[in-house]
Amino acid sequence: MSKRIIFTGGSGKAGRHAIAYLLAQGHKILNLDLKPLVLEGVNTLIADLTDSGQVFNALSMHFGFDGFETGKGPAPVDAVVHFAAIPRVLIHPDNETFTANVTSTYNVIEAATKLGISKIVIASSETTYGVCFAEGDKDYHRFPLEEDYDIDPMDSYGLSKLVNEKTARAFAMRTGADIYALRIGNVIEPEDYARFPAFLADPPSRKRNAWSYIDARDLGQIVDLCIARDGLGFQVFNAVNDEITATEPSAAFLAKWAPRTPIARPMGEYEAPISNRKIREVLGFRERHNWRQYVTGIGGAGS
């Protein structure tokens, strides 16, 4: 069923692929961003989401000029997908990264729920698992990383995402809205697969991403599944692909390259250390873009 979706941050690396996927499913999209998205059929409204007044207005406007033809004012919005953020540390000072990401998320969720929009999907991050932007060589508490993990980031970006998950939970409890937080892994665009041979040759270089990733196109599928599934209240989902970025089976690879981290349960032969088991079982996610389809001359599964 076609839905009207407001997507924040759709001009970014992850957002533009997710929007393209949603468009292909027949949804109508309004993009909120500080930069235009050049994609036919999608209008970009330039909005500063740290300004609550702009957010309330942006979530209650026409998606495009055709909206004026109805004579009935802006049509209802079915869902808000909030990806807009300062995307990592070391772009802005730490206090600005934290403030912008936390304030914008609060503003979007507050405006959406007060405007009666009961489905919200927000971008959390693999950085909440505490290793990606950690000081020094920090180990994970256990593998696989699942959604009940005691997330403990020490950096301003990961901390902002932790706070955003708590904000989402608070509004879901208060309003009864469905708010799903996606702990998005390292986002891989099609052209990024050219880098995988170097990843495979240097396993320590991928520890901070827990040897996991999400194809940007599969991320679009995950967002669409979230929009379609109602009634779950507040949920956290790891948004990653199925398999570890290694040619060895997961247990043997992790024993060699993360020997101080215990294995909490038996893992699938090539299961990614950030597990997507929940999103497969609850939402029915089935990856379409396994990295092995795009990287030739390797051993392991499917070779």
Residue type, 10: G
* Predicted confidence (pLDDT) at residue 302 exceeds the cutoff of 70: no
Q: How do strand 4-8 and strand 187-188 relate by DSSP bridges?
A: unpaired
Query: Cα dihedral sign for 161, 165, 166, 168?
Result: positive
Rounded Cα distance between 234 and 298, Å, is: 40
Task: State the amino acid at position 276 in one-letter form.
Answer: N
Residue 222 near residue 237, CB atoms below 8 Å: yes
List of residues 6+ apart from 3 with CB closer than 8 A: 27, 28, 78, 79, 227
Q: What is the tens place of the pLDDT at every residue in 14-33?
A: 999 999 999 999 999 999 99
- pLDDT, one tens digit per residue, over 76-119 is 999 999 999 999 999 999 999 999 999 999 999 999 999 999 99
* pLDDT of amino acid 45: 98
pLDDT number for residue 300: 58
The predicted structure's pLDDT at residue 303: 39
Residue 57, token pair as written in the block = 């207005």
Measured CA to CA in angstroms, residue 292 lies from 38, 66, 185, 244 at distances of 30, 43, 17, 10
Q: Is the pLDDT of residue 254 over 80?
A: yes
Stated pTM of the model:
0.97
Over residues 128-161, the pLDDT tens digits come to: 999 999 999 999 999 999 999 999 999 999 999 9
Q: Where are the domains positioned within the chain?
A: 4-192+212-244+273-291
Distance CA 191, CA 31 (A): 24
- For 212-242, what is each residue's pLDDT tens digit? 999 999 999 999 999 999 999 999 999 999 9
Q: How far is CA 222 from CA 173, 238, 250, 280, in A?
A: 23, 10, 24, 10
- Measure the CA–CA gap between 189 and 170, rounded to whole angstroms: 33
Structure confidence by residue, pLDDT tens digits, 42-89: 999 999 999 999 999 999 999 999 999 999 999 999 999 999 999 999
Q: Which residues contact 87 (CB under 8 A, 6 or more apart)?
A: 12, 13
The pLDDT assigned to 296 comes to 86
CA gap 121, 178 in Å, rounded:
8
Options 3.40.50.720, 3.40.50.2000, 1.10.3720.10, 3.40.50.1370; CATH for 4-192+212-244+273-291 is 3.40.50.720
Q: What is the DSSP letter of 17?
A: H
